[in-house]
Structure 1
Amino acid sequence: MSDHEHAASDELIFALDIGTRTVVGLIVEPAGEQFRVIDCTVHEHSERSMLDGQIHDVMAVSRVIGKIKEELEAKHGLLTKVAVAAAGRSLRTKRVRMDIQLSRHAAVTRDDVLTLEFSAVQEAQSLLAQELNEQDVTRYYCVGYSVVNYFLDEELIGNLIDQRGEKASVDVIATFLPRVVVDSLLAALNRCGLDMQALTLEPIAAINVLIPVTMRRLNIALVDIGAGTSDVALTEEGAITAYGMVPVAGDEITDALMNAFLLDFPMAEEVKRALTSSDEITFTDILGLEQTLSTEEVVKAIMPEITNLAGKIAVKILELNGKAPQAVMLIGGGSLTPKLTERVAEALGLPAARVAVRGADAIRQFVGEHPLLNGPEFVTPVGIAVAARRHPVKYVTVTVNDHSIRIFDLRKMTVGDALIASGLDIRRLHGRPGMAITLTVNGRMKMIPGGHGTPPVIEKNGEACGLDTPIAEGDRIVAVAGQDGENATVQVIDLMDKLDTLELFINEQPVSLGPVALVDGVPLPLDASLTDRSEIVIRLPRTVEEVLRESGVWSADGADEPVEVFHFQVNGHETTLPALQKIVQVNGKDAAFSDFVRPGDQLTFREEPFQAPEIRDVIPPEEWVQETISVHFNGQPVTITLASLSITMNGRAAEQHEIVENGAVISVKASTPTAPVFSDVFRYVDVSLEKPVTEGISRLVMLVNGEPASFHTELNAGDKLELYWE
């Protein structure tokens, strides 16, 4: 067995930083609090097998890893475990606004806020899945989220707890690591016979070595500028609050040099690297011409691209942080770009001293001096090794409602994370409030809220817990949704604020009447239940009829009882009248049921038997065809009837002035009118036609309007008739 085949010591940490352009392998040995870098090797990818931190060609990447592994194994023995990091640029960040309706009467609790935050994270998760046409939302691990703002009724607010309002909202930036990134990392390592000893995220790895715990309370932006992308991470209050990625980095500067001086890519890379170390640079362009220029001139030619890169980084920092951070740290090979720190500071409006490149000097506390580790590009690989020992990321396996869930323990994981990972809809866990009822009461809108929904029952290992309770390996979580609230119910009486009364007298007795309720125009009792969108009018009784009904003196319910009636027929037309007559008086005067009443009025109400009418009162006018003419007879007015009425009641002849009997059948017939003659007058006047005995009277004189006439002379209205002996 040759030297290099013995297994590497258990203490040694093998760390890999798999970047877009290069893969860095480190062998690190813990030495007390420090770490000693024993060996380091760097290989470039031979083809474009990485894209934005995501492994596209597992086999090609595993070949590069294999080479590094072989090189290091030759010196340090068999390597079986490796610490790796998922690239910050493979993280997906989503910003989401989430609202919940609040009950006006209850203050917002911590549980309400957590439910809102986790619901927002879950919404971000499902939006991300939709964007990427992914059916299974749980294919994204949430590796962190930060609240950008809270709102109460659309107004910005610092803290929602104990506030009251109608709607609470939260604006959240949530960051997700696609499971496929982890799966492809595992696949590439397995092909090389390596187990994942620890997984971290590149920004976390860098922050762990760059920013001591004592500085973590500061709001710091960490920018890892690689070849293809620049990754941005923000810390505040001891946690990484947000991640982002800008698709411009070192290669843009190389491209700018190629265009400015007609260089090929390898020569442009050389020139770029020389910018940091020499005052003069000599290069050969693609035409074979050699040029020597001062560093200043070269930088001047590519300044627009440097400014552009700085501007894009600054914009991303402001987008994620909402404001300029307290300090910015640049790491990665691209951070060595000349004048970049000044340009980033300008774009953020920070003093130049607040933006700095952190290189090997910043990680000396971990690795001491090492000839190979001399630049900012080694910060992340060392961070990965340190994280493997200090903050190893493990899978946590828990059960949620008896389903087993594997979660990446990338931060302090909570019950809420487990529920999200299980795919439970957190918004649906809280019982919904019951349906409200909206009414219009005397012209004003009124809303009756439904009952509150009950909170969910969440238990961890049989004990009640909250969404923010930490979880550990093997925990058993049970989440039972809360009950929905009852729908609102309301009766008319519930809407009456103050009960006014109307005081008056009925039949000399004092009466006090409460309000009446009209629902959609129909009177309803005070205990009637109301439906949504009803229009209710609540007021005191106004009319005689309302007063009589409300007081019970005249019961509308009496309509159901058989009412005694008086009826008769005239020429086949039936007439029915109540046998009892209602007589109403207000303050001694006859009144109608529709008349208004006032407080203190004296009402009299009685029912009397119906007074049967005479026949003449019930004959309809159209049947009454008694035409007449008036004439003067010997100076006296006389009315002559031209047609006569024949009346029968129940088959017998009857006179006009007779009283109608109940149930009578009356027939009225009129004779045809005839032209009157002189002799008709004798029916209406008392005159003797006998010749008086007086001496000298010989003849009867008959005149109509002074002209001689006979008994058969036709008469007209207004004629003057005379009759005398002479």
Structure 2
Amino acid sequence: MIDGQIHNILSVANVIVDIKERLEKKHGPLKRVSVAAAGRALKTAEGSMTIDISENTLMNDEDINRLELAAVQQAQQKLLSSASMSKDEYYYCVGYSVLHYKLDGEEIGHLLDQTGQTASVDVIATFLPRVVVESLLSALKRAGLEMEALTLEPIAAINVLIPPSMRRLNVALVDIGAGTSDIAITDSNTVVAYGMVPIAGDEITEALSNHYLLDFPLAEQAKRSLSSGSDIVVTDILGFEQIVPSNEVISIIRPAIERLAQSISNEIKRLNGGQSPKAVMVVGGGSLTPTLMKELSTCLELPENRVAIRGLDALTNVTLATEIPSSPELVTPIGIAIAARRAPIHYMSVTVNDKTIRLFELKEMTVSDALLAANVKARQLYGRPGLGMSISVNDNDIIIPGEHGTPSIVRVNGQIASTKDRIADGDCIELHAGKEGRHASATLADVVEGSGTIDVTIDEVPLTLVPEITINGVNQPLETILQDRDKIIIQELHTLATALEKLNRNDLLTTSTFTITLDGKPIAHTVKSVEFMANGTVIGTSYLLKNGDNITSEKKDKLTIGEVINHLGKKLADEITVTFNGETLLIQKQRIAITVNGQQASAKDFIKAGDQLDLITLQADPIRFSDIFTSSDYQLPKNTSGNYQLLRNASPIGFNEPIFGGDALEIIFT
């Protein structure tokens, strides 16, 4: 077994059997075992997913879980598509954590019952390579053991040394072993990164071996003797024995110590966004290497008291037997034992559509965890929507959507379940794919609704009007089924002017022109000879007729001053709408004074050809609180006593202060 990977299953199984037999002599039969996987086998990837929720009701648990599942799958795809991964590699997802929820691009605590335009989730997912998992299971099976729980070595060390309450701090944990140095980084209340450098204590041993020509085991023994500070005795491969002062040995291995410190420091900075953490905790047998802590603090530009070796005395809630030494090399093994009990990753087997899937319980496992492990894509949880259709109606583009697909049906042991339902070892999961939505379909009548045949009456003469409708330039009946990219043209025959032409009543469309003088300049004005009414309301010849309209005409030989001014595009008065004591009021303030032939006039007065019309612009005085009484029949309440107060939008206002459209005005008595 090398660097956490089993290279010979049979040999490893024999070692397991040997250990198992020794333990069984002391503790009795053993059937289940907790396993620790090496940190270098663990891979993490972040994923994110955003969906449109503008047409949805409130977000529920199922919607959120499907969103999270899609984000984890995105992380898995990112991992599998990275340049460091080969096509044949497959990684099991062993769990994920939500980093952020976002609503309309802004971070939010949770998405449950939220509504908006878009919902997003960011996750960090952890993965183990299949070869690691399968080889572990095979070795255990040969040894007659069942995997009860799985723990990860760097996570184990973090769990016993840095509890969740400390993880808001930016701290690095380094476990320096023999062949590798495992690194974990905490920040913002979570473990944000894991890493590894492929050098550790053996690097120092090899430096000793090369310099003094020592066999590797003897060099390892000499290295461990350095912590005592006394002279060490070494015997080289030629049989010569010599006594060497420890400070001399340390100077010999200093370049190797510096390389180790620099490698670890570079990886810490890489994992920590290019900068040093606030502090570094070091465990493992390699942490006892002389001057290593000082070199690490120098490389990381940290004070020496911010880089420290942590031994068993740093563990909380742990009782140790008196014969157990307080050594930093025991922190990780004890962490593994504790993690196997406190937060184990339980192993289970389930079937998904008759395919056996192995899962590791970082938490209580759900149907979605099994679907993810079975490589079920998030899009498979819903039937695909049907294809939409794009058409043009009078040069206006219209999109006709396809039908939504139906959700898939999930059954656990034959019972309908949701993706959030918990599962247990041996469960049988069936996924019945949802139906795909039908493609968009519409008839000509569906898109030209309101443009059909109508019946109207004009001066008691009945008339039936039929529009001309073409599809791609060809007349088609209303029952015609539309195709994508069809171009529909509707030639409206429903205006009053067109109807009058159809009735040969063009005489009703005649106009006359007369000239008046406006502010000393002659102006020609066109007057319609006839005024039309539709169901009692004045209309123009461009009025769009509706089925059942009754149109009447009346000769018109006079024109009001207001009509002339409107035609000129001038504004006689400013208008605002307010509420006063709960009553809606339209307040007008005149901005133009009118005279006709030198006499004061109003907009309702008639004007005739040759009249002299003068418009005088009045001072642009704002509309004030006092102006409401020109539009209101407000009466003071009877038997009032005390003071009164004027309010605008619940705030005090003066009698002559300006008011604006939409204001809520009040008079209250105190």
TM-score normalised by the shorter chain: which range applies?
0.5 to 0.7
CA deviation map 1:133-183 (0-9, x unaligned): 549x6xx542222345667899988766635447x6655443223444344
Match of 1:210 among 137, 140, 161: 161
In structure 2, C-alpha distance between the alignment counterparts of 1:344 and 1:526, rounded to whole Å: 82
Counterpart check, 1:334 vs 2:280: no
Match of 2:399 among 447, 450, 453: 447
CA deviation map 1:432-491 (0-9, x unaligned): 233223345555554343333333333556766542333334555454333333433456
Q: How does 1:296-311 map to 2 (within 5 A)?
A: 297=251, 301-302=255-256, 304-311=258-265
CA deviation map 1:320-339 (0-9, x unaligned): xx998776543322334556
Q: Give the match for residue 434 of structure 1.
A: 386
Offset of 1:277 from its aligned partner?
4.9
In structure 1, C-alpha distance between the alignment counterparts of 2:128 and 2:355, rounded to whole Å: 22
From the superposition, tell whether residues 600 and 374 of structure 1 become closer, same or farther in structure 2 (CA, over 3 Å): closer
From the superposition, tell whether residues 477 and 153 of structure 1 become closer, same or farther in structure 2 (CA, over 3 Å): same
Q: Give the match for residue 62 of structure 2.
A: 111
In structure 2, C-alpha distance between the alignment counterparts of 1:67 and 1:511, rounded to whole Å: 104
Q: Give the match for residue 95 of structure 1.
A: 45
| RMSD of aligned alpha carbons | 5.5
Any conservation in 1 of the 2:231–2:243 contact (CA below 8 Å)?
no
AA aligned to 2:65 is L
Match of 2:433 among 462, 467, 481: 481
CA deviation map 1:568-603 (0-9, x unaligned): xxxxxxxxxxxxxx9x99989xxxxxxxxxx859xx
Q: How does 1:512-523 map to 2 (within 5 A)?
A: 519-522=471-474
Q: Give the match for residue 383 of structure 1.
A: 335
Offset of 1:54 from its aligned partner?
0.5
Offset of 1:227 from its aligned partner?
2.2
TM-score by length of 2: 0.57
In structure 2, C-alpha distance between the alignment counterparts of 1:274 and 1:402, rounded to whole Å: 58
In structure 1, C-alpha distance between the alignment counterparts of 2:415 and 2:326, rounded to whole Å: 53
Any conservation in 1 of the 2:194–2:271 contact (CA below 8 Å)?
no
Q: How does 1:398-417 map to 2 (within 5 A)?
A: 398=350, 400=352, 405-417=357-369
From the superposition, tell whether residues 534 and 147 of structure 1 become closer, same or farther in structure 2 (CA, over 3 Å): farther
In structure 2, C-alpha distance between the alignment counterparts of 1:504 and 1:345, rounded to whole Å: 94
In structure 2, C-alpha distance between the alignment counterparts of 1:478 and 1:323, rounded to whole Å: 48
Q: Give the match for residue 251 of structure 1.
A: 202
From the superposition, tell whether residues 119 and 100 of structure 1 become closer, same or farther in structure 2 (CA, over 3 Å): same
CA deviation map 1:32-85 (0-9, x unaligned): xxxxxxxxxxxxxxxxxx233111123444555566567x56984767457442
Q: Give the match for residue 128 of structure 2.
A: 177
From the superposition, tell whether residues 300 and 181 of structure 1 become closer, same or farther in structure 2 (CA, over 3 Å): closer
Offset of 1:314 from its aligned partner?
1.2
SS of residue matched to 2:370: helix
Any conservation in 2 of the 1:520–1:534 contact (CA below 8 Å)?
yes
Across the two proteins, how many residue pairs are aligned to each other? 504
Any conservation in 2 of the 1:146–1:241 contact (CA below 8 Å)?
no
AA aligned to 2:401 is P
CA deviation map 1:76-100 (0-9, x unaligned): 4767457442323353425364656
SS of residue matched to 1:174: strand
Q: Give the match for residue 689 of structure 1.
A: none
CA deviation map 1:537-565 (0-9, x unaligned): 5564699xx969xx9969xxxxxxxxxxx
From the superposition, tell whether residues 214 and 547 of structure 1 become closer, same or farther in structure 2 (CA, over 3 Å): same
SS of residue matched to 1:200: strand
AA aligned to 1:200 is T
Q: Give the match for residue 85 of structure 1.
A: 35
In structure 1, C-alpha distance between the alignment counterparts of 2:41 and 2:34, rounded to whole Å: 15
CA deviation map 1:237-284 (0-9, x unaligned): 998776544434333455566778987755664565456553888878
Any conservation in 2 of the 1:330–1:358 contact (CA below 8 Å)?
yes
Q: How does 1:122-521 map to 2 (within 5 A)?
A: 122=73, 131-134=85-88, 140-147=91-98, 162=114, 164-165=116-117, 172-189=123-140, 198-212=149-163, 222-233=173-184, 243-254=194-205, 265=216, 269=220, 272-273=223-224, 276-278=227-229, 292=245, 293=247, 297=251, 301-302=255-256, 304-315=258-269, 317-318=271-272, 329-337=281-289, 356-363=308-315, 365-391=317-343, 394-398=346-350, 400=352, 405-440=357-392, 443=395, 445-460=397-412, 465-473=417-425, 475=427, 477-490=429-442, 519-521=471-473
Structure 1 portions without partners, runs of 5+: 1-49, 555-581, 589-598, 602-726
AA aligned to 2:255 is A
Any conservation in 2 of the 1:216–1:239 contact (CA below 8 Å)?
yes
SS of residue matched to 1:438: strand
AA aligned to 2:132 is V
AA aligned to 1:452 is H
SS of residue matched to 2:424: coil
From the superposition, tell whether residues 119 and 260 of structure 1 become closer, same or farther in structure 2 (CA, over 3 Å): farther
Any conservation in 1 of the 2:49–2:70 contact (CA below 8 Å)?
no
Any conservation in 2 of the 1:492–1:528 contact (CA below 8 Å)?
yes
Structure 2 portions without partners, runs of 5+: 511-539, 543-670
Any conservation in 2 of the 1:221–1:327 contact (CA below 8 Å)?
yes
Match of 2:484 among 508, 532, 548: 532
SS of residue matched to 2:127: strand
Any conservation in 2 of the 1:88–1:243 contact (CA below 8 Å)?
no
Q: How does 1:649-668 map to 2 (within 5 A)?
A: none
From the superposition, tell whether residues 372 and 163 of structure 1 become closer, same or farther in structure 2 (CA, over 3 Å): same
Q: How does 1:560-571 map to 2 (within 5 A)?
A: none
Q: Give the match for residue 52 of structure 1.
A: 3
